[in-house]
Structure 1
Amino acid sequence: MGKALGDILGLAAGVAVSPLPIVAIILVLATPQGRLNGSLFTLGWLAGLSVLGGVMLAIGGAGGSSAHHQPATWVGALKLVLGILLVLFGIRQWRHRPTGASPAELPKWMAAIDRFSPVKVFGLGLALSAANLKNAPLTLAAAASISSSGVATGQQVASLAIFVIIGSLGILAPLAVFLFLGDRARSVLGGWKDWAARHNVAVMAALFFVLGLKLLGDGLGILTS
């Protein structure tokens, strides 16, 4: 299990650093039903990562490792493809980053968050975790790494749970601030929101590129070993 955790910790950290979802939950927390909506958003986020990772584990099963407990060829191919996609996304993000003093542009749907029903808030958390161009490949790669570790099913599930928790720290932190800091929460979360919105594109481009190169290296290492 230790090897599995070593393979996924960096990927989990990459999921946790997600500026746009952080902005989204801060806006959700600012709604009239902030406590309820923030909890639903977080549950949706946790469910998205868990279900996507669980599906990958179910597909991989014990077939993620060879008879010698080395990653199977398909794991290397998957990581190679995901790595290429992330690098391409990173290049695209960097080329479309704001220049000069241009203000950061956020998705138009964010302006309507205060009108979202609880079901939509839950669905938003689900989508931003499981359908995110960065988080989905990283979650699939992490689950494939767990599958390829050759550990028992219970340890695979525990490893995925640890991945989900670490990958959710960027969402859990604003929720904790909102729940426990009282009146100070508004100013703290406002500062976080402004920073995340301002640096979203640059942070995402860097993460896409660095983590994509890591998956490329992992995939090539598996396929050539």
Structure 2
Amino acid sequence: MGKALGDVLGLAAGVAVSPLPIVAIILVLATPRGRLNGPLFAIGWVVGLSALGAVMLAIGGPAGASTHQQPATWVGGLKLALGVLLVLLGARQWRRRSVDASQAQLPKWMAAIDRFTPIKIFGLGLALAAANLKNAPLTLAAGASISSAGLPIGQQIASLAVFVIIGSLGLLAPLGVVLFMGEPAKNMLDGWRDWAVRHNTAVMAVLCFVLGLKLFGDGLGILIS
């Protein structure tokens, strides 16, 4: 189990450092129903990561992700492909970054967050976790690493739970600040939001590039071993 955790911790950290979802939950928390909608957003996020990871575990078992306690060839191919995808996404994000970070703008849909129903808030958290172009490949790669480690099902679930918890820390931090500090947390969260908006594209580019290269290397290592 230790090796599986070692493989997924870096991927989980990459999921946790997601500026756009962090901005989204800060905006959600600033709405009149923030104390309700904030936890709903976080639950949607956790469900999204858990479901996507569980799908990978369900596929990995019958597909023979582990052969003689070693990752199967297809796991190496999957990691290599996901790595290439992330590197390309990182290069695209880097080209799109604003030279003047102060000119960075939020996506237009974020302006309507204060009008979202609780169901939409839950769905937003779900989508930003499971359908995000950075988080989805990292979660699939984590699921592949866990399923290829040859662990009993209980340890696989525990490893996925650790991945989800660490991958959710970026969202849980502002949620915890609001729930425990209340109104005095507003200025702190405003500062976090402004920083995340300004540096979202650059942070995404660097994370995608670095983690993409890691997955590419891992996949290549499995294929040639």
Task: State the TM-score, normalizing by the size of structure 2.
Answer: 0.98
Name the structure 1 match of 2:50: 50
Question: Who is 2:114 aligned against?
Answer: 114
1:29-86 Cα offsets, whole Å, 9 max, x none, are 00000010001000000000000000000000161111x2110001000000000000
Give me the whole-angstrom Cα distance separating, in 2, the residues matched to 1:163 and 1:17: 13
Name the aligned partner's letter for residue 64 of structure 1: A
Structure 1 segment 135-146 matched on structure 2, within 5 A:
135-146=135-146
- Structure 2, gaps ≥5 residues long: none
Q: 1:96-137 deviations in whole A, cap 9, x for unaligned?
A: 100136511211000000000000000000000000000000
2:24 is matched by which residue type in structure 1? A
Equivalent-residue separation in structure 2 for 1:75 and 1:101 (angstroms) = 38
1:89–1:43 CA distance, 2 compared to 1 (3 A): same
Shift of 1:181: 1.2
Instruction: Give me the whole-angstrom Cα distance separating, in 2, the residues matched to 1:186 and 1:140.
Output: 35
| Aligned mates of 1:153, 1:102 — CA distance in 2 | 48
For the Cα contact (< 8 Å) 2:101–2:198, is it kept in 1? no
Partner of 2:59: 59
**Distance (Å, rounded) in 2 between the aligned partners of 1:205 and 1:110:** 21
What is the count of residue pairs matched by the alignment?
A: 224
Alpha carbons 2:77, 2:223 under 8 Å: kept: yes
2:159 aligns with 159
- Does 1:29 pair with 2:53? no
Output the CA distance in 1 between the equivalents of 2:29 and 2:95. Answer: 32
The 1:102–1:80 alpha-carbon spacing in structure 2 relative to 1, beyond 3 Å, is same
Counterpart residue identity of residue 122, structure 2: F
Aligned ranges 1:1-225 → 2 under 5 Å: 1-61=1-61, 63-66=64-67, 68-100=68-100, 103-225=103-225
- 1:128 maps to a residue whose letter is L
Greater mean deviation of Cα atoms: 99-108 or 180-189: 99-108
User: TM-score by structure 1 length?
Assistant: 0.98
The answer to which of 178-187 and 85-94 deviates more is: 178-187
Instruction: Give distance in 1, aligned partners of 2:52 and 2:128.
Output: 12
Fraction of identical pairs, as percent: 77
4+ long deviations beyond 2 Å: none
- Residues of 2 paired with 1:80 and 1:105: CA distance? 33
Unmatched runs of 5 consecutive residues or more in structure 1: none
Instruction: Note the aligned Cα RMSD (angstroms).
Output: 0.8
| Amino acid in the other structure paired with 1:45 | W
Q: Distance between the aligned counterparts of 1:101 and 1:210, measured in 2?
A: 21
Matching residue's letter, 1:194:
D
CA distance in 1, matches of 2:144, 2:182: 41
